[in-house]
């Protein structure tokens, strides 16, 4: 069987993102979204999710390069002078590893974000982590600890086979998989050992912000057996508050709406759904979504 989860990250970051998520789910192949509970448009995202019962929603946990839920004074050492999480990820990761005080503060923030998601009343389909910061073993431990208290059953780990990427785009050149590959494998093994399901493959890291319709179609046509996730960052325009320079947000929305991509899903015989639909999360009683053409 080939199961396919198509996820939009940063749901709640901005109205431009929320609008794109709704359109991509209603008219395209998007099945899932990851909610930034501290995003400036989080309330709007929750309202949209409530009127889209087929959209599976998870928590997009943020500990770097974003806004926290807790006040800055409770997160000293984790946030900058503006009260936002640090962007120097490597140095922040080192500090977190060696400082029990910072770990306690980070743990409180992780718990607060899980609590905020629970307060929405939405079913927790999965957890993803901004910038894949849970490849840091300390962060992975914080996620698992809080997740155990909140019924976490499924999560993303960026297990991205290089061979599939190369086949999907003839112009692809291997980047530096040694930077993430071993950590991803270790993190996946740790999550699975804790009873948290992880898709067999997850695509989107190498082409983050550059998932064109051609690349998305190429991945779908070459899906390996098992459960695969493809994640994107759709938005209505090229720039909005908090947008990343150089990201092709509108192009990624176009990819999700592409007729050629819908056709590729059908040709591949893939079943569309959310994490819990395939991975035993039990959050949704329905079977995985059938492939349907949307106009």
Which pLDDT belongs to residue 233? 97
In order of their start, the domains of the chain are 2-278 (3.20.20.370)
Strand partners, 60: 128
Cβ atoms within 10 Å, residue 25: 23
Share of the chain above pLDDT 90, in %: 84
274, pLDDT greater than 60: yes
The phi, psi pair for 58, rounded to 5°, reads -125, -175
| Angle value at C-alpha 62, between 58 and 65, nearest 5 degrees | 140
- DSSP, collapsed to helix, strand or coil, labels residue 138 as helix
281, pLDDT greater than 60: no
- DSSP, collapsed to helix, strand or coil, labels residue 4 as strand
Which pLDDT belongs to residue 280? 64
Mean pLDDT of 119-139: 95
Nearest to 221 by CA among 253, 252, 266: 266
The phi, psi pair for 180, rounded to 5°, reads -115, -30
Here the tokens at position 156 are 């993303």
Contacts of 54 (CB under 8 A, 6+ apart): 25, 31, 289
Mean pLDDT of 29-43: 98
Contact 228, 202 (CB under 8 A): yes
pLDDT digits (tens, 9 = 90+) for 211-239: 999 999 999 999 999 999 999 999 998 88
Which pLDDT belongs to residue 179? 61
pLDDT digits (tens, 9 = 90+) for 80-119: 999 999 999 889 989 999 999 999 999 999 999 999 999 9
187, pLDDT greater than 70: yes
Mean pLDDT of 282-287: 40
Average pLDDT, the chain: 92
Contacts of 164 (CB under 8 A, 6+ apart): 201, 203, 219, 222, 223, 224
Contact 156, 229 (CB under 8 A): yes
The whole-angstrom separation of Cα 80 and Cα 83 is 5
pTM more than 0.75:
yes
The whole-angstrom separation of Cα 264 and Cα 274 is 19
Question: How far apart, in Å, do the first and last CA atoms of the chain sit?
Answer: 26
**283 — pLDDT class (breaks 50, 70, 90):** very low
**Looking at per-residue confidence, does 89 or 178 come out higher?**
89
Nearest to 135 by CA among 99, 83, 177: 177
Comparing 27-41, 138-152, 159-173, 184-198, the range with the smallest average pLDDT is 159-173
257, pLDDT greater than 90: yes
Which pLDDT belongs to residue 121? 97
Contact 16, 240 (CB under 8 A): yes
Comparing 21-30, 66-75, 97-106, 166-175, the range with the smallest average pLDDT is 166-175
Contact 79, 49 (CB under 8 A): no
**Looking at per-residue confidence, does 293 or 88 come out higher?**
88
- Crossing angle (nearest 10°) for helices 249-257 and 213-221: 50
Contacts of 211 (CB under 8 A, 6+ apart): 204, 230, 232, 233, 248, 251, 252, 255
The whole-angstrom separation of Cα 100 and Cα 231 is 33
Strand partners, 259: none
Here the tokens at position 263 are 């056709």
Which pLDDT belongs to residue 237? 84
**Looking at per-residue confidence, does 204 or 289 come out higher?**
204
55, pLDDT greater than 70: yes
């Amino acid at each position: 069987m080939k199961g396919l989860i198509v996820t939009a990250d940063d749901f709640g970051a901005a109205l431009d993102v929320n609008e794109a998520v709704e359109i991509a789910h209603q008219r395209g192949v998007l099945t899932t979204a990851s909610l930034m509970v501290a995003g400036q448009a989080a309330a709007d995202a929750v309202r949209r999710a409530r009127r889209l019962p087929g959209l599976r929603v998870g928590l997009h946990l943020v500990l770097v390069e974003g806004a926290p839920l807790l006040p800055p004074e409770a997160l000293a050492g984790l946030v900058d002078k503006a009260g936002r999480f640090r962007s120097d990820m490597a140095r922040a990761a080192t500090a977190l590893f060696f400082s029990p005080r910072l770990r306690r503060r980070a743990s409180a923030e992780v718990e607060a974000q899980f609590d905020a998601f629970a307060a929405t009343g939405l079913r927790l389909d999965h957890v993803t982590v901004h910038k894949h910061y849970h490849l840091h073993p300390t962060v992975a431990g914080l996620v698992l600890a809080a997740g155990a208290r909140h019924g976490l059953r499924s999560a993303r780990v960026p297990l991205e086979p290089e061979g599939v990427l190369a086949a999907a785009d003839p112009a692809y050149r291997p980047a530096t998989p040694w930077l993430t590959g071993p950590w991803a494998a270790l993190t996946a093994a740790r999550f699975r050992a804790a009873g948290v399901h992880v898709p067999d493959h997850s695509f989107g890291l190498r082409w983050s912000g550059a998932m064109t319709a051609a690349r998305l179609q190429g991945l779908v046509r070459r899906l390996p057996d098992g459960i695969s996730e493809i994640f994107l960052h759709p938005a209505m325009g090229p720039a909005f508050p908090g947008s990343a320079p150089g990201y092709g947000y509108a192009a990624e929305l176009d990819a999700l709406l592409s007729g050629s991509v819908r056709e590729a899903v059908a040709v591949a015989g893939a079943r569309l759904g959310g994490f819990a639909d395939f991975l035993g999360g039990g959050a949704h009683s329905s079977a995985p979504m059938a492939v349907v053409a949307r106009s």
